[in-house]
Structure 1
């Protein structure tokens, strides 16, 4: 019997019960859930999900994901708003990576908006 796969976002849930449905197109209920699904998309190389959840006003024309960059762990540090009844939210996180022998982290304070009942990533400020 195949063992369930843990979600890369670090929620502790299995992928199919966490970010899997969001990567398949289901709307995220909160800004944090969207941010976690975007981390998972980076970890899995899913550029389609990243583009689909990026606000059109800031979405890049192309995404070039580095397959050698391995996203290892996500820690949510802070959140403001971003709930099911909000229209704006901020999520601050630190994402840890490895590439070859190098290791590091990226810390970002991300802005999200909810339009037509869907959360979208607007932009982020690196910390």
Structure 2
């Protein structure tokens, strides 16, 4: 019997390999950077605001949100369809953060984008 973590890991790896094969270096960098920043965005701003922000974006940001949505499967990560009750919202936030760990790991291992690269990128941009 497969665990939930196994499902998150295999889905994340499939998505990362897809990005690696089909996207430009700039897109891979943006996607990998988002893999590292996403958990902090959720913890700092909350899932609802993070999903709202990413859902109106184009390119790799929207692609990343779609990938996380596919990984967790139970819920639909769209601003209008997030759970209304606190308990369901907290469960969903926990699942999203658990799945995002695998994206971070594979962004570093497969795409070669480390957390230091993300910090350097933010420093250069003046963030």
TM-score, normalization by structure 2: 0.27
> Which structure features the higher share of helix residues?
2
Structure with higher RCO (Cα < 8 A, 6+ apart): 2
